[in-house]
Structures are given as C-alpha cells and as structure tokens.
Amino acid sequence: MAASASSLGQSSSLRIGLVGFGTVGSSVARILADATATGLTLTMIANRNVARKRADWVSPTVRWTESVEEMLAPDAPVDVLVELVGGLEPAGEWVRRALASGRSVVTANKKLIAFHGPELEQLARQNGCQLLFGAAVAGGIPVIPGIEHGLSGDRITRVEGILNGTCNFILSAMESGADYAPVLADAQRRGYAEADPTEDVGGLDARAKLAILMRLAMRVHVAPEQIEARPITTVSSVDFSYAADLNATIRQIARAEQTPDGLAAIVSPMLIPRKSPLAWSTGTENMVVTAGAHGGEVVFSGHGAGGHPTAVAVVSDLVNLSHGLGRPPVTFEAAQVSIEPEVPHYIRFLVCDRPGIVAAIAGALAAENININAILQKPGCASDCLPFVVTVEPCRGSALRRALAAIAQMDFVLEPPLDMQILEK
C-alpha cells in the first residue's frame, strides 16, 4: 500500500518515482542524490532511451525503466510519483492513475493543473493522498506556497506578473537594442526556448500559469481559453525606443483583477512605468505581485526558469509531503472573464506619410469616444515607412479595436497598428 500525505506522521521516509529525466528531472535527481533533503529516497526513474539517459552519479539501487507502467504497478516501490514530462497526455493519465491508487503526486505541469487541476485535486482527496504543484508557476520562486499559506488570511483582488522567463529574456534583450529573431535564436541555444516557441511567445504558457494563480489567490476557476493571450512577436526595437521616451519599458504581463463590476484577465506585452517593480525584472527572472484587500501589495521575485530553481520547488514539495504537510483546502467558484477594464493604451502606427494622417486617426478614435493623450514621432525616419506613436486615455479594449480596424483600412497604413495596454498600477 502506497503511503499518502494524510497518513504520514510528523516525518516519514518516502520512496520517489521520477517520470522524466530532462533538464528539471535530472536536477531533481541530483538534489536527491546529494542527500540535501532527508527522508526522501529515489527508487525509480522512467524515461525514454534509458541507455542514453542513465547517469553514473545516480545510486545503483535506483531502477531505470522506459515504462511508466512499471512505476504505476501496485507492488512498485513508489510512494510519490513526480511527473516532469509536461503536457496534457499521457501525463494526465499517469497522474490520474497514481492518485487513484493512493499515491501522492508532485508535478511542475502547469498545463495539466490549469486545465484539470480541480478534477485532479478532487481525485486526490477521494483517495487520501496529495497533489502538489509548487513548481508549476514561477519555477523556484515560492509563489504558490506563499499564496496558499502566507496570504490565506487576506482577500486578494489582483494578481499580475511576469510568468514566462523566455519572453522576459527576449524582451529585456530587445530593450538593450537587439532584434527579436536573433534573440529568440539565442534563447533556443541556451535552452530557455523550445524549438517551437509558440507556447511561450504566444502567451499560452503564461495564460495557464495565470489561471492557476487566479484559482489559488482569487478563489475563482476560469478556463484558460477565456483569458485573452497576445503574442510578443509584434513588438519591435522601435517600440522600446518610444517606451523609453515615455519613461517606460515593455514586458509580457499576465494580469487578473476582481472588481465590483466583474473579472478581468489578460496576457499581453504591456508598457510598464520605470517606477514599477515589474520593470526591474530582466533575463529569465519571474515576478508576481498580489494585491490584497487588507495586506496590500506583496511581491515575489527570483529565478523562475531553469532546471535547478524548478527542481528546488519540486523537492520542497516532496519535503513537505515527508513531514505530512500537504496543501490547505481551497474553495473556489467557477467564474467568467466578464469585463474589459478601462486602461490607457500605446498605439504604434507605420504609415506612408502625407498631410491629414493625424486628423484621420484622431477622427476614427473620436468616433469611439477615445481621447488622444500624446503623439510621438522620432525624427529622421523615411517618409514612405514612418513609425509614430499615439497614446490614448483610458478606454475599453473593444472600442479601441473597432477604431483600429477602421484605421487599418486607410490607404496610408502599411501594417496593422500595434496596440499595448499601459500598466498604471
């Protein structure tokens, strides 16, 4: 019979089955091999191409296998399954079967937790075991335990942050003058970005993480597809130049807020004032800011990406399990993203210059009751390919999209305008 967290006393020795021996999995195994965490024994490792992956520093008592089925067998020497493969399937099936057998699960799989977390948590409760996922958001930063334990007495109304290290690496390098394509290639060489970076640069990775934080911090369960996700691929070096003129920078921000009018959530590149802590995060760092009704703002910051930081979060979950410390029960309500907050926007146009352009743009904005705040144009640009920026006062995104759709049809516009929210708080 597998040991479960609920059956543990003050301390218990746990046998660990590790699924996935990639960047994070090998780091977890290294920490366990170094015996920095007592009460944890690595007994099995499952991975494809075991002969190629086998490491001589792993204890010879560890059983290597290419079959997760062996690890899920009733007589397997595994109390806790550590799933580090990622994705919805087959990882979802493995996690469900482990929980159904009474084995606790530790995972860094943000996609699985975002889409199926409530179902899996219920399965764990029914079988007297635990599902821990402290590494699923912000890697080695203790955001999830910090929210679940440290902020459980507050009512959190807003969560925002930089949740994707790949995008932060790319955008902070572009801030220093680099172009998108070579920076992405560099990120791929360093292992920060996948060969297909769509999940990262398209905002889908951060969207899954935001959905998890909304459930834990704001106590609302939202399907990730409800959260608008905009890519960073439309941002160019000229935008950083204009952002600097506005005493701001650009970062991919995941943001959710509960107001008396409803729930708002988005993942998008945004203009961030230099005075904001979010502007200070560079490279692969992550940052999460929560705003509580009673405790005010709390900032979590640190290395959110990479094998070692994420592995620390995984092993910390295992240590908690070995001491009988599971996750506190969290109640939440199903919710819908229902409102568009009125916020200021940055709009970059690329036009073939001629008289009357500003008047035409101002007219299209005025037709949607949107007021211009400022117009910026750098000298020295060719008139047949002229970038300039308009910032507008707080407005609804839907109204701005209608105005920009009309402007995009005007014959002087060379490409669809780039629109980014300007973060005020």
Of the candidates 53, 111, 209, 275, the residue annotated as catalytic is 209
Q: Are residues 167 and 78 in the same domain?
A: no
3-state secondary structure at position 404? helix
Q: Name the one residue in this structure whose structure tokens are 């959905």.
A: 211
CATH number assigned to the domain comprising residue 88: 3.40.50.720
Q: Which of 154, 137, 157 is nearest to 341 (CA)?
A: 157
Q: Are residues 188 and 50 in the same domain?
A: no
Instruction: Please give the helix or strand (H or E) that residue 70 lies within, else none.
Output: helix 68-72
The answer to whether 209 is a known catalytic residue is yes
Q: Which of 153, 156, 142, 254 is nearest to 208 (CA)?
A: 254
What's the confidence (pLDDT) of residue 4? 45
Q: Are residues 155 and 299 in the same domain?
A: yes
Q: Are residues 284 and 222 in the same domain?
A: yes
3-state secondary structure at position 142? coil
Output the pTM of the full model: 0.94
| Tally of domains within the chain | 3
Q: Are residues 298 and 404 in the same domain?
A: no
Give strand pairing partners of 418.
348
Q: Are residues 261 and 123 in the same domain?
A: no
Residue pLDDT, tens place only, 150-168: 999 999 999 999 999 999 9
Q: Are residues 112 and 66 in the same domain?
A: yes
Please report whether residue 332 resides in a domain.
no
Please report whether residue 326 resides in a domain.
no
What is the rounded distance in angstroms from the CA atom of residue 108 to the CA atom of residue 85?
A: 9
Please report whether residue 289 resides in a domain.
yes
What is the rounded distance in angstroms from the CA atom of residue 325 to the CA atom of residue 11?
A: 9
Q: Which of 172, 170, 163 is nearest to 266 (CA)?
A: 163
**Cα distances (angstroms) measured from residue 310 to each of 106, 109, 327:** 12, 11, 18
The domain of 65 spans 5-132
**Cα distances (angstroms) measured from residue 8 to each of 16, 111, 196, 321, 401:** 15, 29, 42, 8, 55
Buried b (16+ CB within 10 A) or exposed e, 356-384: ebeebbeebbeebebeeeeeeeeeeeeee
Residue pLDDT, tens place only, 85-120: 999 999 999 999 999 999 999 999 999 999 999 999
Instruction: Say yes or no to pLDDT of 8 above 50.
Output: no
Residue pLDDT, tens place only, 350-377: 999 999 999 999 999 999 999 999 999 9
Using the Cα atoms of residue 128, residue 129, residue 130 and residue 131 in order, give the sign of their dihedral.
negative
What's the confidence (pLDDT) of residue 210? 98
Q: Which of 133, 49, 58, 46 is nearest to 94 (CA)?
A: 46
